Every structure is written in structure tokens, then in C-alpha cells.
Amino acid sequence: MQDRKTLDDRAKMTDLERLRHSAAHVMATAILRLWPDAQFAAGPPVENGFYYDVDLKHRISPEDFPKIEEEMKKEIKANHPFEKIVVTREQALKDSESGRLGGLSERPGNPSKFKIGNLEAIPEGEQITYYKNGDFLDLCAGPHVMRTGNIGAFKLTTVASAYYKGDERNPQLQRIYGTAFKNKTEMDAYFTMLEEAKKRDHRKIGAEMGLFAIDTEYVGPGLALWLPKGTAIVEELEKLAKETEFAAGYVRVKTPHIAREKMYITSGHIPLYQESMFPPLELKEKAADANGKENVDRYYLKAMNCPHHHRIFAAEPRSYRDLPLRLAEYGCCYRYEQSGELFGLMRVRALNMNDAHIYCTAEQFADEFNAVNEMYLKYFKIFGLDKYQMRFSTHDPARLGQKFVNEPELWIKTENMVRDVLQKSGINYVEVPNEAAFYGPKIDVQVWSAIGREFTIATNQVDFAVPKQFGLVYRDRDNSEKTPLCIHRAPLGTHERFIGFLIEHYAGNFPLWLAPEQVRVMTIGDDEKLVSYAKQIINELRANFVRTESDFSSDKINGKIQEAERAKVHTMLVIGGRDMDAGNISVRIHGKGNLGAKPKGDVVAEILAAIKNRSA
Ligand SMILES: [Zn+2]
Ligand SMILES: [Zn+2]
């Protein structure tokens, strides 16, 4: 069953969503001009566009789109106002029965059956409204743009099928999708971006470059295998995280992939998240208990690393002097995602998370939280992400004890602390009510790839509830026992999702430090002396951990270069007899071309410096 949008949700609709929802009304108007008996159900704005569900004998196909779009243009050109009309429930019911709602006129014998259902879903006491553009009258709570002429550009995109109200016991409808923009320039930019995203699809580039494989038959769906070239990227990211976290005073820990049932009952996962976890492993311990009863132990694959880290906190007595304690781990978690939801590296069942938990006192919180945010910004700079936004999700006081732990004062206190840090740091953020984690306020970090596509890759959360459930305490200055606050943070998200994102962001053309094959040394010809000079260079680079391969074949050098460019090798070192005699190397950079010959020592030094600085 689909959730009905509340009036509150509707008031929050952005300008673009209003415009797209208005385009859905215009599309319905156009469809009715062509097929007057069409019956409409729901027509909301969605991510990147809108749809309207329609019941119609004629099967609409993309071949029908031009003529529907032609009718839509007429309605937009007529520039009809979107008129809001308040009605009584009786009137609305009468207009549904006469077929007037979701129609251009009354349609005797063809009542607006879905509108009757929609009407029933409107709570008693809530105002009932119509919106009218030209002849089209619809049951709708709005909001809309002022006039049909405000729709600057639109396009119908696809048609799918959907059940009325998302319930498969209901009739199947045709769902016509489209998109709309303020103007044609914005729409063109959107379709260009989609085209580019298709070319940069991480599954396609991942296969071409040999980064990862998903072996559904033997390993299982959603369980990515990192091939050697993908593993090179994984290890570079881990190295970056380890260096950054070490400098910021984190310590590293290692934890097993499974834990006993008690762990997840205490953490709240079993009561709240069990359906996202793999089913338990049942272990019959050999020794029976005193009553001769066999013990069965249940273990679960971990869905998050936090509970294990909490037990590390509990493993030793802690004093205020030990805080803040920052425990970091690239932990592998397992989540049961529906098989239909799995998607390349972006939605998987085993995920390696750049995780850490910071245990601190309330007084230390602002500094710690701020340092985490700064770490995010530092990473964004390294990856050349200049567009990002933090979404600060807070609780809803009306749902304390249901969706959110029942600690009204702690909620307000921690949310104020977070808000304060965000405001002082000047970070770009928006506040979203009612979307916090159950244990505290949460920040999701959205980033935009080089081609302008949005991804949510990382989270930063405050937890004032679970440490208490695990009985975590530290001894304070006054010798009293107190519960620490916990910050969960994962700036590089999971390897799977982050690398999926980076593949699109870089189109597979990784900067030198991340490139799976950083350097390829190629000889012009296969002369023995030349090959041995080239091998010397390779040895020197490998001794410095530069991922270096060779091509000493007798093929023409142009062919070798083409092959290396195709494989997206970052730096190509081309060596001919003249280079060797002068102690030089000719350098070529993927996508940038030939940089000419330089002394061997300079070339090696430049490569090492660029890797060390992680320069673009
Ligand atoms: Zn509407
Ligand atoms: Zn956590």
C-alpha cells in the first residue's frame, strides 16, 4: 500500500515538484482529448519527473507519445490557470459518480472509480479540493504552478504498469512517466547527463576494466568479488582512511563477522531490523548442559559494526581520561536486501564500511563532531567534489517511543549541539524533520558526481541511546559513572558504493594514486638492451609500490599506446634507443597525450610525488 502524501508533505513540495505535478495534470488533459473514457488514479511528482496512472483499453506505447505531447503543447499554449476549488465531500462524491473528476466533462455510465477510492482515503475533516485547468477537473490537494504556461519544457519518457494504490489485488493500470523543467536548456542538460551516466555506468566500466565481478551462481547475488584491479582501488582507499584517521587520533580495531543473538537483541537490531539481516546460523554445542539438554546457540552475521565496537569499549574499565576514544575499522557488514533491489555495487549484501565510533563526553561532543565534518570536507577536496550537501535529520516529538527512543530531553539537547556545530562551521546543510535514526539525529551526505548526478554516500550519526543499552560507562572526575555519547561516522561510505560512485565520477579515468594500473612501461621494439633498461625502471617503480606493468612486445609503438589508452593506464612510459642513450623516458598521460622526454630520475620522482600527494 502506498503512503498517501499528507498536507504537510505537500506544502514541502519544491517549485520543480509543483511544476512536474502540474505537467501530470496537463498530460491527463491531453490523454483525455485522445481517449475521453480514460480513468485516472494518482499522478504525483517523482524523482526526476512525474507519472500519472491511467486505466484505458488502448495500450499506450512510446509510439503514442508524440501525439500526446502535441495535445500537451496545446494545453500549455492555452495558458489556462490552475484554479483551486474547495468542495464538500458530497459534491466530490457526486462528481466522481458522474465521471466528471479526472475528466474533461461528465461521462455518464463511466464513473471516476479511482477518484472515489482516493476520496475515501481523505481523512474526515480534511478540506477537499479540486484543481481545474481548462476543461480538466481533478480531485487534488495541490499545490500547482499558476498556469499551464509555466511548464517551460517537458517530455514523456516511459510507460510501465502498476497496481492501483500499489496493491496487487487492485486493478492493473498503465503508468505513463514524463519529466518537466522550467526551460528547455535545463531539460537538455538533464538528458545529456543521463546519456553520459549511461556511458559511465559502473557495471559497464567495472567489467571493461576488470574491477569486480558478481558471481551469482557460486558466490551469491549482491556479493561482489574484487578482482586484482578493483582491489588496488580498495586498498588505496583504505590507506587514505588509515592515514587520515591515524592523524586525527583514531585507533584501529578488528572484529569478527558474526556475533551471538544477545548482541543484536541488546543493540535493537533484532526487534527493529531483523528483516534486513541474514537468518541466524544455528550452532549445536557438543556438550549438553547439566540437564542433558543440547545447547543451541544462534549467531548472526553483523549488519553493522557498532555493537562489536561497543563491546570493545566495555572490554576494559574506562575513565574520563580515556575519552574521546575513537575506534576505527574497515568492517564487513551483511544486509539482506531483496534480490529485486540489488544493483551492481550500489546495492549489495556484503559491504565494507569505512567505519568508526567515537565515544566522548557531552563537553567533547562539539569538537569531535566538527572534526568529523572537517574530515568529510578534506576527502571531498581530494576527490574533486565541489558540490555536496549535508542533510540533518531530526526527530518528531509526536513519535517518541515508536520511531524514536523515548528520551525527549536528550533529543533536543543533541539536536541543538549538532545544529550549533553545523551553523558555526558554515557547511552547506538542510534540516529534515522526522528522518533521524531511532537512536539519535543523523546527517546524510549527498554528493554530486562530475556529471551532476546525486548520490548519498556517507552518514554521520549521534547516538545517545545504544551505549546506555549496552551499559557502557566511564568513571568521571568526581568518580561517578556516566554513559558516553557515541558518534557513528563513515565518510567514505562502503567500498562498494563509493567505488561505484567514483567509477561514474571519473568515468574510469582514475587519478594516478587510485589508478589500478598506474604505469605501463613500453619499449619501441624488443631490443634486448632496451628491454633491460626498461626492466630497471620497472623495478625501481615497483620497489616504491607503484603498480607498474610492461609491454615489451615487438608490436608497433602506436598499437601499444592505443592498447594502454584503452585500458585507461594512467601514465605510459615510452622508451626508445635514443631515450636510453640520453638516460631519458618519454611520458604520456592517459587522455592528455604526450608530455615529451625527461631525465629518468625526474620522471620517477614526479610519479612518486603525485601519488604521495594524491593529486588529481
Ligand atoms: Zn494536482
Ligand atoms: Zn555505527
Domains of the chain plus CATH, in order, are: 7-186 (3.30.980.10), 208-284+297-506 (3.30.930.10), 519-613 (3.40.50.800)
- Ligand with minimal distance to 45 CA: 1
Which ligand has the shortest distance to the CA of 328? 2
Non-local CB neighbours of 257 within 8 Å, separated by 6+ positions: 301, 302, 332, 334
Decide if 270 contacts 261 (C-beta within 8 A): yes
pLDDT at 2: 44
What does the alpha-carbon distance between residue 572 and residue 549 come to, in Å, rounded to a whole number?
10
Helix (H, G, I), strand (E, B) or coil at 213: strand
- State in Å: Cα 462 to ligand 2 middle: 9
The set of residues, in sequence order, having a beta carbon less than 8 Å from that of 179 and lying 6+ positions away, is 20, 48, 49, 50, 154, 155, 157, 187, 190
Q: What's the gap in Å between 419 CA and the centre of ligand 2?
A: 20
According to the model, what pLDDT value does residue 433 have?
Answer: 87
Beta strands in 464-570 (DSSP E): 474-475, 481-482, 485-489, 519-523, 548-551
Under 8 Å CB-to-CB from 134, ≥6 apart: which residues? 29, 75, 78, 80, 148
Ligand 1 centroid distance, CA of 64 (Å): 23
> Measured in angstroms, how far is the CA atom of residue 431 from the centroid of ligand 1?
26
Q: Quick one: pLDDT at residue 383? A: 96
How much is the pLDDT for 125? Answer: 87
Per-residue confidence (pLDDT) for residue 23, from 0 to 100: 97
Centre of ligand 2 from the C-alpha of residue 215, in Å = 29
CA of residue 269 to ligand 2 center, whole Å: 12
- For residue 356, how far is its CA from the centre of ligand 2 (angstroms)? 7
- The answer to whether 544 and 519 have CB atoms below 8 angstroms apart is no
The whole model's pTM is what?
0.85
Bridge partners of 487? 358, 462
24 C-alpha to ligand 1 centroid (Å): 8
The alpha carbon of 488 and the centre of ligand 2 are apart by a number of angstroms equal to: 4
Q: Extract the C-alpha cell encoding 111.
A: 464513473
Q: Which ligand is nearest to the CA of 329?
A: 2
Q: Which ligand is nearest to the CA of 85?
A: 1
**What is the distance in A from the centroid of ligand 2 to the CA of 206?**
29
From the CA of 304, how far away is ligand 2's center (Å)?
Answer: 6
From the CA of 490, the nearest ligand is 2
Grid cell locating 322:
580515556
Distance 297 CA to ligand 2 centre (A): 25
Ligand nearest to the backbone CA of 141: 1
Q: What is the mean pLDDT of each run of 10 residues along the chain (616 residues)?
A: 59 89 97 96 93 96 97 97 95 95 94 92 91 96 94 96 89 95 95 93 96 97 97 98 98 97 91 88 76 82 95 97 97 93 94 97 92 93 93 90 84 91 88 86 91 88 90 96 95 96 96 98 93 96 97 94 96 94 95 93 96 91
Q: Which ligand is nearest to the CA of 302?
A: 2
Burial class (CB in 10 A: 0-12, 13-18, 19+), 344: buried
Ligand nearest to the CA of 143: 1
- How far is the centre of ligand 1, averaged over its atoms, from the C-alpha of 272 (Å)? 36
Query: Which is it for the CA torsion 300, 303, 305, 310, positive or negative?
Result: negative
What residues have their beta carbon closer than 5 A to ion ligand 1? Answer: 131, 140
Identify the pLDDT of residue 425: 84
pLDDT value of residue 5:
66
Looking at residue 403, its pLDDT comes to 80
> How many whole angstroms separate alpha carbon 388 and alpha carbon 395?
23
Ligand nearest to the CA of 333: 2
* Ligand nearest to the backbone CA of 467: 2
159 alpha carbon – ligand 2 mean position (Å)? 41
